[in-house]
Structures are given as C-alpha cells and as structure tokens.
Homo-oligomer: A and B are copies of this chain.
Amino acid sequence: MTGKLFIVGTGPGNPAQMTPEAQDAIAVAAEFFGYGPYLDRLHLRADQRRIASDNREELDRAQAALARASQGVDVCVVSGGDPGIFAMAAAVCEAIDKGPAEWRQVDLIITPGVTAMLAVAARIGAPLGHDFCAMSLSDNLKPWGVITKRLRLAAEAGLVIALYNPISKARPWQLGKAFEVLRAVLPGSVPVIFGRAAGRPDERIAVIPLGEADPDRADMATCVIIGSLETRIVARDGKPDLVYTPRSFTGDSR
C-alpha cells in the first residue's frame, strides 16, 4: 500500500496567503521534504518529520520523497508560491517519469498556491492585467541562447514579462544582460517592477523605467516584472503609483 505524496505551495510567505487546502495537506502528512526556508514557514507538530535540503537539489528531494511514499508513508513536498511554477511539481513528475515503476502508483495530490508574480502584481495594481509570460532567468538548466531568444520574442509579441530566479551569487550578470536584450526591442520608458518578498514584513517594491533599471535592485527573493508598450502608471498624491496593463489593446496591431 503506497502512501500519499502531497505537493503544496505555501504561497508568497504570508500565512494569510496560504490556502486552507494546503494547510489541510500539511496537517495530514508525516514527513516534509523541502528547501529549509520554505519548511520554516510551516508549524509542524512534534510527530512530523522535517527533511530539509538545498535549493538546487530538487530532483534528489523529489526522489527521496517518492521513495518514502512508495514505502507507505504520507509525505509532503513543500514549495514556496505555487508548486507548479518553477518549483517542485515538475521535479516530482520528472522523478516519476525516470524512476521505478512503483513510483507511478503513488497517490499524487498537488495543491496550487499564490505564485510570486501574482503577489507582486497585487501590491502595485495590475501589471499582469493582460497577456503576459513567466520565464525563469536561470541558465543552470537551459542554455542562455534560449533565454535571450524567448525574451526577444516575448517583447516583440507585446507580452508583459515576469522573471523568476532573476539573480543569484552564482548567476550575477544574467539580469543585466536580459535588460540589454529587452532595451533593444522596447523603449526605455517601459516600467520595470522589482517586487521583493511581496506580502511579507521585509517587502520592498520599486518601479523603475527600463532605461534606468539596475539589476542590483534584485535578489533571490525578487520577482521582476517588465511592462509592455501598453502598461500604464497612475500617479496618486500621497500614495504609491499604480501600474497596470489595460484590458484593451490600443497600440499598433501590425
């Protein structure tokens, strides 16, 4: 008899933004696999076991969780945000795809969550209010040439662009290079939102024109959203500017 394998998203980090469904899954599971800081967001009981691993060990973690579930243990794999967006659901599927036949019999229950770009967007207005894309800027698992091609085509398509994993100690130059690629397609006036730790006590949100956007404003906890030609800024006396992308397209439709 195999155990259940829950894959939960904690949301952006504010407990009020985690769904009851994720909370219920956490209450049921016996063993928890995840990146330490995400596991720290949970309030586990003394009878629940915590197996923390490094941020870059996603496939190993997925395999360890599947092995325990196929032994009959109810396990929980924990992601920040939503588990389906640049997170653990893909790693678990990949482990099942490549793993022993019995792993396909594990009961998989994935609970969606609020992913970072949605939390950032909610704090600033509605920058994702029309067509957009989400891309990981990490070139650990895909060639840099694929990333620049996608950035260029997305900007040409008029999509707002949300960048996950914009920068890290091991990847210091990629965000600056991405801004260069985008400046070749988009005017410097397009707003760039640096949304750090949205909804958490250490939140920091800034809006900077693309022409002046400095990659040093981002860290690993930042989601960077680059507007399109349609994206607008609404100034408000004594309140932060709103940034939104209108529902209607009014630009050049060639």
Contacts from A to B (Cβ < 8 Å): 11-12, 14-21, 24, 58, 82-87, 89-94, 96-97, 104-105, 108, 110-115, 118-119, 121-123, 125-136, 141-143, 145-146, 149-150, 153-154, 156-159, 232, 234-239, 242, 244-249, 253-254
Please tell me if the beta carbons of A118 and B126 are within 8 angstroms of each other in the complex: no
* Inter-chain contacts of A118 with B (CB < 8 A): 82, 84-85, 112-113, 115
A197 to chain B, nearest CB (A): 14
* Inter-chain contacts of A112 with B (CB < 8 A): 12, 17, 114, 118-119, 121-122
Q: Which 4 A-B pairs have the closest CB atoms?
A: A90-B129, A142-B249, A93-B244, A133-B133
Point out the residue from B14, B24, B92, B126 that lies within 8 Å of A84, measured CB to CB. B126
| Identical copies in the complex | 2
Chief secondary structure at chain A's binding surface: mixed
Please tell me if the beta carbons of A158 and B130 are within 8 angstroms of each other in the complex: no
Please tell me if the beta carbons of A130 and B93 are within 8 angstroms of each other in the complex: no
A238 to chain B, nearest CB (A): 8
Point out the residue from B21, B86, B87, B146 that lies within 8 Å of A249, measured CB to CB. B146
A110 to chain B, nearest CB (A): 4
A196 to chain B, nearest CB (A): 16
Per the bound structure, the CA–CA distance linking A232 and B24 in Å amounts to: 30
Given the interface contacts A114-B114, A118-B84, A153-B154, does A16 sit within 8 Å of B21 by beta carbon? yes
* Inter-chain contacts of A236 with B (CB < 8 A): 96, 104-105
Selected A-B contacts with CB under 8 Å, 5 pairs: A16-B21, A93-B242, A131-B135, A134-B134, A145-B253
Please tell me if the beta carbons of B97 and A232 are within 8 angstroms of each other in the complex: yes
Please tell me if the beta carbons of A86 and B129 are within 8 angstroms of each other in the complex: yes
Please tell me if the beta carbons of A132 and B129 are within 8 angstroms of each other in the complex: no
